[in-house]
Structures are given as structure tokens and as C-alpha cells.
Amino acid sequence: MSDWLAELARGPLIGIALGLVAVEAVALGLFYARYRRGLSWVDAVPNLASGALLMCACRAALTGRAETVPLWLGAALVAHVVDLGRRWGR
């Protein structure tokens, strides 16, 4: 692994991105609760979870926890299928 990539993996970048996803989920939920516009939590969470789980897989791969990557990817797939299933019927 190159030096800059190793530093990126040890740094807080993915953790910050995961925190921003959590803030986005709360903001979307509060906006929907207040204005009844946009995405409800039920609609937004599967999509956000899929992305967050992919970030967890990336962090696991970059930090030497490769044995957990298939678990993160499997969970991301489940969240993605749930998201697609909710959208497909619309």
C-alpha cells in the first residue's frame, strides 16, 4: 500500500464520512417530520445504510481487516436490495 493511502486509512476520513451520513439521515428525517416533503427515514435509511456499509468495507480493507470485508459487502447488498425493492414498485 502506498504511503499516502496508508495514512488515509489510519486517518479519520472514513469516520468523518460515516458521521456525515448519520447527520444526513437525521437531517432528512427531521425535515420530513416538519414539512412532510423530501424523503422519510423509511425511504432514506436503506440507501444511506448501503453507502455507509460500503465505506465500512473500504475501511476494513485499508486497515488490514480484510476478513471482515465480505460481511460488510453482504450487509451493503442487503441494504441495497431493500432500497431497490422499496423503489421498484413506485
Write out pLDDT tens, residues 17-61: 999 999 999 999 999 999 999 888 888 999 999 999 999 999 898
Distance (Å, rounded) from C-alpha 6 to C-alpha 25?
29
Say if residues 9 and 59 touch (Cβ distance below 8 Å): yes
| Total number of domains in the chain | 1
50-66, pLDDT tens digit by residue? 999 999 999 898 888 99
All three cell numbers of 70: 465480505
CA atoms within 13 Å, Cβ hemisphere of 48: 20
Helix (H) or strand (E) holding 44: helix 41-62
Q: Could you tell me the pTM of the whole model?
A: 0.85
Q: Give the residue numbers spanning the domain of 25.
A: 3-88
d(CA 27, CA 16): 16
